[in-house]
Amino acid sequence: MPDNSFKPLDPLLHSELRLAVMSILIGVDSADFVYLKSETGATSGNLSVQLDKLQQAGYIEVKKGFKGKMPQTVCSITDRGRDAFASYVEALRSYFPTQ
Amino acid sequence: MENNFSAENSLRLITETIERSRRAVAKNAGKPLILWGALVSITAFVIWILWSKTGSPAWNFLWFAMSVIGFLGNRYLDRDKEKVPATEVTRLIGKIWMWFGILSTGFFALVWAAWGIRCAVGIEGPLNVDLTMIILMMMGLCGAISGSVLKLKSVTIPVVIALALAATFLMVMPSGSPVRILSFVILGVLALIVPGVILQKNEKKQ
């Protein structure tokens, strides 16, 4: 019997900006704050808040350092974040009719 | 905004973001392709003229000078380039061309070493190796794989056409003739400059 129920979507990922950040990080080794800001079009404040939420959930790792004399924040996805993203995509499938 | 974020929007966002990242990698590929295409074509043409006039295949060492100019040119292009985070794709393409450089240089050195040994022990006759064909094939293979990994038909198709034309040209031309080096002009123009110009035009459209 086919399962027609919708699977719950991870509320942490079901947010436009956080999902955009995770979609970027899933395909790269790491990305700095400036790159994430330009790719998502978010404001610095909003992006910082959302990155903090993802970090607290253990989905991303945030390293603060310096590039030359300029401060640099580099983000990368963790194994937990990768699993969460895969589960989110899997859950998303249940919202679309299978062919 | 987040309240209206539907499953459809999620899927679209994921697809668009991943596609944009893929395009960002290809975005920076146009100028280096044109640079290397021009260098390969000009070097092959210059070697053909000098080799034909002097009869010495030693002019092939100009390929090393070309590599140095290309390396410096790439560094110069990197200065203006928009920084894109490293991905599995960029790393893979980097490794593919790194191994092309290592293997072609190594093979080139090996052929010259073998030629030196033959001269030293007095063995006559042509070397039993078609260096031009081997390097041409390796270069074509690397180009086709790069285009395929980047999912860029504008790179893969010209490379395959160029490879077929250049290989045919090599097979038709007499063995050991300097004119065979012109096969690299075919490859340089069709497999590097043409895809580079297409990528540049596509980038300007976006």
Query: How much is the pLDDT for A1?
Result: 43
Q: Which of B8, B11, B85 is facing A30, going by the closest CB pair? A: B85
Query: B95-114 pLDDT, tens per residue?
Result: 998 999 899 889 888 988 99
Both structure tokens of B27: 């975005």
Under the banding of pLDDT at 50, 70 and 90, the label for residue B1 is: very low
Average pLDDT over residues A79-98: 90
In a domain, A7, yes or no: no
Whether B141 shows a pLDDT value over 80: the answer reads: yes
**Under 8 Å between Cβ of B192 and B136:** no
Neighbours of A88 (CB within 10 A): 19
In a domain, A25, yes or no: yes
Q: Which of A14, A20, A35 is facing B17, going by the closest CB pair? A: A20
**Cβ-defined contact of B17 to A89 (cutoff 8 Å):** no
Average pLDDT over residues B162-184: 91
**Under 8 Å between Cβ of B192 and B33:** yes
ipTM over 0.85: no
Average pLDDT over residues B23-46: 85
Cα A69 to Cα B6: distance, rounded to the nearest angstrom: 42
Q: Give the percent of chain B with pLDDT over 90.
A: 34
Question: Dmax of chain B from CA atoms?
Answer: 84
Nearest CA in chain A to B9: A16
Rounded to an integer, what is the distance from CA A64 to the centroid of its chain?
Answer: 18
Query: A11-47 pLDDT, tens per residue?
Result: 999 999 999 999 999 988 889 999 899 889 999 999 9
In a domain, A98, yes or no: no
In a domain, A4, yes or no: no
Helices (H), chain B: 7-27, 30-54, 62-80, 88-121, 131-149, 153-172, 183-187, 194-205
Query: How much is the pLDDT for A36?
Result: 92
Within 8 A of A20 by CB-CB distance, chain B residues are: 13, 17
Whether A89 shows a pLDDT value over 60: the answer reads: yes
Under the banding of pLDDT at 50, 70 and 90, the label for residue B8 is: confident
* Nearest alpha-carbon partner for A76 in B54, B76, B87: B87
Under the banding of pLDDT at 50, 70 and 90, the label for residue A4 is: low
Query: How much is the pLDDT for B24?
Result: 72
- Give the side-chain half-sphere CA count within 13 A for B9: 13
How many structural domains are present in chain A? 1
Whether B206 shows a pLDDT value over 70: the answer reads: no
Q: Which of B17, B86, B87 is facing A23, going by the closest CB pair? A: B17
**Cβ-defined contact of A31 to B18 (cutoff 8 Å):** no
| A16 min Cα distance to partner chain B (Å) | 6
Tell me the Ramachandran region of residue A67: left when phi exceeds 0, alpha when psi lies from -120 to 50, beta otherwise: beta
Under the banding of pLDDT at 50, 70 and 90, the label for residue B91 is: confident
Cα B198 to Cα B204: distance, rounded to the nearest angstrom: 10
In a domain, A2, yes or no: no
Q: Is B181 exposed, middle or buried (0-12, 13-18, 19+ CB in 10 A)?
A: buried
Write the DSSP string, B37-80: HHHHHHHHHHHHHHHHHH--GGGGGHHHHHHHHHHHHHHHHHHH
In a domain, A28, yes or no: yes
Please report, for the domain that includes residue A37, its CATH number. Answer: 1.10.10.10
Q: Whole domain around residue A84: which residue ranges?
A: 16-93
| B149 min Cα distance to partner chain A (Å) | 14
